[in-house]
Structure 1
Amino acid sequence: MTGRSTNVIPLSTRKVECRDCTLFQLCLPVGVDQADLDLLDRIIKRRRPVKRGEYLYRSGDAFESIYAVKSGSFKTSYVTEEGREQVTGLHLPGELFGMDAINSGRYCCSALALERSSVCEIPFDRLEELGAQIPSLMRQTVRIMSKEILRDKRMMQITKNSAPGRLAAFLLGLSERFRERGFAAQDYRLGMSRVDIGNYLGLADETVSRLFTRFQEEGLLAVERRHIRLLDVPRLQAVARGQSERASSKVYIGAGMYSKPSTKPGMPAGEDQATFPAWDPAYRIGIDVIDRQHQRLFDIGHRFYDACRQHARRARLRRIFDELLEYTAYHFAEEERLMQQVGYPSLPQHRVNHEELVELVNHHRSRLAGTAPDAERQALEFVRAWLRAHVLDADKDIGVYLASRHAHGG
């Protein structure tokens, strides 16, 4: 077979067998009991490390084996009738590929190592024989094939998105796949070149480059060569859903997501999204100390709004954000102390939300300290939506809980 090595070693001679592999829960042996796993170990072969740029197999080669990525990554592609390469997939550790050749008996695509990689090779004829003895093995094979079909279907849906939506969905999809493998989900190395990404997503590579630059300027991510760091996952998710990266109809507050209400019950009459909400008795939750702290937060937010309207320098905006950050930390500590005193059942989730919210305030403060365009408007939009959601949605529930306790003599 062209481009393939005959230097294979039975897996049973290895120190690391399937049961000891860190990718066990993602690969073929899931659900296979110990005795049957020993049989599977005997048929799997391990190839020598595959060098970057080396083909594991080429399109048209006779089908012999399916492969599981042990380390590194591979891209699969084929050449169209016009002589153009078409990238069909990116395969990460724990994923199987080569199964598209089962029907025709020949590989439909070529598989190229994007970096120094290694694979486990599974001879398909031996797998079929073993599958007759181990029903759970064939069930797992079918599950993997089904998962691949669903991934292809999602990819077809992604390519119907706008250009920004395609790239955002692709990066988020990789993030989720890295998370499944126990790797950092928001800080990873991208094996694919921008040319390959554009090919895969149906975009010109110049478009991909422009979008990476745009996403960086918008504070959605940071890129250093092929190292990707996702900075604002909620807004990336909004872009993937087809919303503008500059604005979203949703705002994520901690672990929860709140709508930005325009006609929220209890909201002061006449208030709209074009203005910044001033403190109003309608915002009270019925706990005096917390209401006073909420009023202070609204006052700081309103000063930030006025400074933005006056086109104040970012140094002034950062000072206001520093004050907001400091007072927010104090307010959250007081809220949590009160919730602990009254035995508020949602305190653990509230505490998580508080921690993540402080991170969001820090994020916008950092953007104001940098050169990101439109950082002022986005920070203002965040503060406006956060205050409404925090007071009218999350903290309102504390007042309801205390009122209920008092009503029942608690």
Structure 2
Amino acid sequence: MVGPKKIVVTGIGATTPLGGTAPESWQALLAGASGTRTMQHEWVEKYQVPVNFAAEALVRPEEVMERVELKRLDPSAQFALIAAREAWADAGVEDFDPDRLLVDWATGIGGVWTLLDAWDVLRERGPRRVMPMTVPMIMPNSPAAAVSMNLNARAGARTVVSACASSTESLANAYDHLQQGLADIVITGGSESCIHPITVSSFAAMHALSTRADDPARASRPYDRDRDGFVMGEGAAALILETEEHATARGAKIYAEVAGGGITSDSYHITAPDPEGLGATRATKLALEQAGLSTSDIVHVNAHATSTGVGDIAEYKALRAIFGDHLDSVAVSATKASTGHLLGGTGALEAMFTVLALRDRIAPPTINLENQDPDIVLDVVTSPRELPAGDLAAVSNSFGFGGHNAVVAFKSV
């Protein structure tokens, strides 16, 4: 019987609140930078938006894309294309069969800017002035379609929409699709651009957002006793996945191995996680089983850790349930402290950070942790920390509204 294929990461790309590329974002993360800033938009004052700061992408799409592309893509698809192009170039693929190239992409909300701008146009100028491209731009599958068409991927352009678990779920799906032989190469990732007065106001109304307006850079503080909510972020991250056989045959560099994934649902509440983290625990167990790893193999966790009161506690309970006493020896990083929360794009970005942590053998820091919650007994990395020698394994967690849980396991190479 033929065993599972080895799936590897051969390219990465990103545009984030920390930088316009993957290397820039990684270096800023290691330096302890914060991507959270006071927003400079007229609509903040116009609508008296209750939270006036966010982690907006540092490099705007108009700085790196042609105007004709910008006009035909919602910002969520613009960010997707920027990250996917970087990852594709990084992978160095020169000769490929388009029928064997697949896109597994994700978003949490989709083209909210296009939809609401079109509504404004309709109300103020009438139906004849609504752009004919509005529907293709607001579709949640627009980012996947844009990446597929731009990079000539014809094996499929699949879209996952599962809130903040979206792009981790896409990554797990990409692993499965390569195992099933549906493609030789998969472009996977996620993107989000919904820092809009409606979404900011909605999250604020449910008391999910931090209100630390006097010091935005220190607002996102996972695990801190004084955390008061998450910070909205935007951007995208992309990873190129291949079978090891395919990557080796073309002489590709390999960052890390994607060893397995686990997906579950809480069936508990539309916004709150299961307070005991039961679904998250099962997702981690599934990921480790598929990866052929034991809990003692894990040296690093990139946690979901949004900086909300109930979310951080529930994830901690899940980690403690699955890892037991070994959790005290696991280096935990909560990188949303630096990047904010990219919603549907966050899993891909944190997976990329996990891959780079294994490549560089360094766990990135969690900034803004001043008084750790005594109910969260974790070894939180607060300055860049060297990881052990030898073979390494790590997991990246993502959990979303609706009770979605997705976990992916990685191994060093």
| TM-score between the two structures when normalised by the length of structure 1 | 0.25
Structure with bigger helix share is: 1
| TM-score between the two structures when normalised by the length of structure 2 | 0.25
* Greater Rg by CA: 1
Structure with bigger strand share is: 2
